[in-house]
Chains A and B, each alone.
Chain A
Amino acid sequence: MQITSPAFKQNAKGALADVQLQQALGNVRSGFIDKRLKAVEALPEFEALRDSARAIKDHALANLDLYLEAYEKKVVASGGHVHWAESAEDARNIILDICRKANAKTVTKGKSMITEEIALNDFLEEKGIRPVETDLGEYIIQLRHEHPSHIIAPAVHVTQSQVEADFRRVHTHLDAARDLREPEALLNEARKVLREEYFAADVGITGANFLIAETGTSIIVTNEGNGDLTQILPKMHIAVASIEKIVPTLEDASQILRVLARSATGQDMSVYTTMSTGPRREGDVDGPGEYHVVLLDNGRSSMLGTEFQEMLRCIRCGACMNHCPVYHAVGGHAYGWVYPGPMGAVLTPSLIGVDKAGHLPNASTFCGRCESVCPMKIPLPKMMRHWREREFERGLNPAAARSGLKFWAFFARRPALYQAMTAIGMPLLSLLGGKSHRFGWLPLAGGWTRHRELPAPQGKTFMQQVRSARSAGAR
């Protein structure tokens, strides 16, 4: 997909002016937050589970090579195939090869951010293979030729009336007079249309929430059951996963599952937790004839051993964006690539370069709400600051901001000079503020006064007053 992260500011401006988007974002601000809080408060050991989940992933990341090799052996032993993809392009070509061998015309897809990251749909279409998204949200945005604006609620930016219009536009084989006013009617229509696709599909592609080293199992969690139909009904299942999805044991995965759904949707568990271990065996009632796993690196191994390693603990629950005031204001598309919100602000520069994604770690108030709700305790603000440090070292931030900062720091490092200057400046500014005690406009303060008044200083600075009190013999 096209990267528009460098145009973050313009994207944000557009998003702020988009009435329908703002209406849709209102749901994020309330729904997700309350549901998570209820679920967390109902589980006394939630905090302890966060610590244990973090420890599991830290251990897995510290021994990533060993667990990945162990995982591969188990997949092969159960009759599956493992493909290693260093880059997005490698992954696309591997998947295309597998699909072509299966003579695939149609592939159904479970919800997967990794296939967004490698821009799989466009690629398959180019090659004459029709991908069909089966998660309702993904299906909606596929009809709209859009990308997910949220990692677990891809169509959260779309309003119900927009969905109705899209369904009427695309499902022209259905009765034009049908009643689609209720959300259930939309759901049933999508279900009916998608049901046919499952049977027509030659290949089913899913992502994976976990890869289990001890068993060679891939796990997906879904709420609609579409993932199961996607991976069981076609003759071939391809699971695409990035390497950091690995955990050592099923027990480890089940611990992390306890924080995942609670953090994401406020559910105790997602409706479906589906484990896939190899292809259909003799005597199995269902399952794919072939089972492939594509393991994607795409820049992750180069995050190991750096200040960004902890980002690889992320389990893609979306809690960080659900609680982010910036995400609430502009939505996911403004971030300009696959991963929005705080997790995107850290991960995106790692994957596409901070030269392109530099706005993302800067567009944060460092309010810290993301870190406080992250089930994996990822220090997101700290890592955004690390990106700002790298930008600063490489001189990537705007020249005006740099010279302004250097000018200020020159004085802040010299207390006597700083106080002499401010003792002249602030009383003057206070006089200008006059009786209203504020400014509607001030030179060089346009960023502030465009939207708000600037409160005027009271008069003499605090240090100035302390100093004169001292020379007068008091204090």
Chain B
Amino acid sequence: MPDQNPRVGLFVTCLVDLFRPSVGFAAIKLLEDAGCTVEVPMTQTCCGQPAYNSGDRADSRAIAENTIEAFEEFDYVVAPSGSCAGMLKKHYPGLFSGEPDWEARARDFSAKVHELVSFLADVRGVTAVAGSEAGSVTYHDSCSGLRELNIKAQPRKLLRSIDGLELVELKDADVCCGFGGTFCVKYPDISNAIVEQKTGCIEASGAQTLLAGDLGCLMNMAGKLKRQGSAVEVRHVAEVLAGMTDAAPIGGKG
């Protein structure tokens, strides 16, 4: 039986903060429905991946220190993103190697970090959600969540629990969408070739809605689908699980 009312610090991620706050509110609802007390530390900004993946260790470390200080008091730290949760969970301790005190703090912090959907399913034991009737949906496995945090079955399980939702498997769902953080603007032509493969599979799935757990990937795929004139609507999985689909889809309709 999971703890009663654990205190969860919501790491909302910079993209959700800036581009799609509705995902943050959906996360709060899902966590509260799962019996958590949710707080939003006001000193959070970004997990630091843009610096970390550009080789800038000093800024990554400074941002990590800020994040740890803001969140280490909570029972759990939850992020609606496999990529950012992976950064916090798998990469933070290494940023402090050679600093035993900070490294220990980072390890304690990292042990508490979870991605939203896997936290609901694996830690809180959620097996069903009310959700919103979304017709036929397909799901893309974002790379970090899939390969760093083993997120694959959990979102599918929760999606299947929603009445009136049909989950269609996406061909090559485990293949990168070509976003890759700064990669997509450093190598736009290659990124485009990769996302074209992805949107081809999305269209071929016949689903009306594309879901995934990472806003970066979603903005990339939505951006390409909309440029191609696709009618597929794109949303973060948390919005559908929480039944909060009033906001326009990512990149708009049609």
Q: Which residues of A contact B (CB under 8 A)?
A: 9, 12-13, 16, 29, 325-326, 328-330, 362-369, 371-372, 385, 387-393, 397, 401, 405-406, 408-409, 411-413, 415-416, 418-419, 422, 426, 435-438, 440, 445, 447-448, 450-463, 465-467
Contact = CB atoms under 8 A, between A and B. Distances in A.
B195 A452 contact: yes
Q: Which one of A365, A445, A458 has the greatest number of beta carbons of chain B within 10 Å?
A: A365
Nearest to A22: B193
A397 B222 CA distance: 30
Contacts of B56: 389, 392, 405, 409
B248 interface: yes
A181 to B, nearest CB: 30
A325 B50 contact: no
B215 to A, nearest CB: 9
Given A401-B186, A409-B59, A447-B184, 4 more contacts: A325-B194, A401-B54, A405-B51, A413-B66
Nearest to B194: A325
Given A365-B176, A411-B45, A450-B188, A393 B223 contact: no
10 contacts: A16-B189, A325-B176, A366-B143, A392-B57, A412-B46, A422-B18, A437-B248, A448-B184, A455-B251, A456-B251
B123 interface: no
A213 B217 CA distance: 48
Contacts of B131: none
B72 interface: no
A194 B150 CA distance: 49
Contact of A391 (B55, B185, B222): B55
Contact of B252 (A329, A366, A436): A436
Nearest to B46: A412
Given A366-B53, A397-B54, A453-B251, A462 B187 contact: no
B21 A458 contact: yes
Contacts of A426: 18-19
B185 A448 contact: yes
A416 B42 CA distance: 8
B223 A369 contact: no
Given A393-B55, A447-B184, A412 B45 contact: yes
A412 B48 contact: yes
Counting from the closest, the 5 A-B pairs by CB-CB distance are A365-B180, A437-B252, A447-B185, A452-B223, A392-B55
A416 B44 CA distance: 9
B227 A365 contact: no
Contacts of B53: 366, 385, 388
Contacts of A437: 248-249, 251-253
A447 B20 contact: no
Interface centre among A13, A362, A450, A462 (most CB of B within 10 A): A462
